[in-house]
Amino acid sequence: MLDFLNPVKGFFVTLKQMVHKVDTVYYPEEMRPTAPRFHGRHQLNRWPDGLEKCIGCELCAWACPADAIFVEGADNTEDERFSPGERYGRVYQINYLRCILCGLCVEACPTRALTMTNEYELADDSRESLIWTKEQLVAPLLPGMEAPPHPMRLGDTEVDYYDLGASGVVGAEHDDAGDQDGAER
CB-count exposure of residue 24 (10 Å: 0-12, 13-18, 19+) = exposed
CA nearest 136: which of 150, 160, 151, 117? Answer: 117
Specify if 21 maps to a domain. Answer: no
Specify if 54 maps to a domain. Answer: yes
Q: From CA 134, how far away is CA 43, in angstroms rounded?
A: 9
pLDDT band at 12 (very low <50, low <70, confident <90, very high): confident
Instruction: Quote the number of domains for the chain.
Output: 1
Q: What is the mean pLDDT of the chain?
A: 87
> Would strands 131-133 and 69-75 be described as parallel, antiparallel, or unpaired?
unpaired
Query: Is 0.85 topped by the overall pTM?
Result: no
- Percent of the chain beyond pLDDT 90? 59
The CATH number of the domain where 59 resides is what? 3.30.70.3270
Domain of residue 105, residue span = 34-177
Specify if 149 maps to a domain. Answer: yes
Specify if 45 maps to a domain. Answer: yes
Mean pLDDT of 123-140: 95
Three-class SS string for the chain? CCHHHHHHHHHHHHHHHHHCCCCCCCCCCCCCCCCCCCCCCEEECECCCCCECCCCCCHHHHHCCCCCEEEEEEECCCCCCCCCCCEEEEEEEEECCCCCCCCHHHHHCCCCCEEEECCCCCCCCCCHHHEEEHHHHECCCCCCCCCCCCCCCCCCCHHHHHHHHHHCCCCCCCHHHCECCCCCC
pLDDT band at 103 (very low <50, low <70, confident <90, very high): very high
Specify if 183 maps to a domain. Answer: no
What pLDDT digit, counting tens, does each position of 48-73 carry?
999 999 999 999 999 999 999 999 99
Specify if 11 maps to a domain. Answer: no
Count how many Cα atoms sit within 13 Å of the Cα of residue 115 in the half-sphere of its side chain.
Answer: 28
pLDDT of the residue at 66 = 97
Specify if 148 maps to a domain. Answer: yes
Specify if 12 maps to a domain. Answer: no
Q: From CA 181, how far away is CA 27, in angstroms rounded?
A: 27
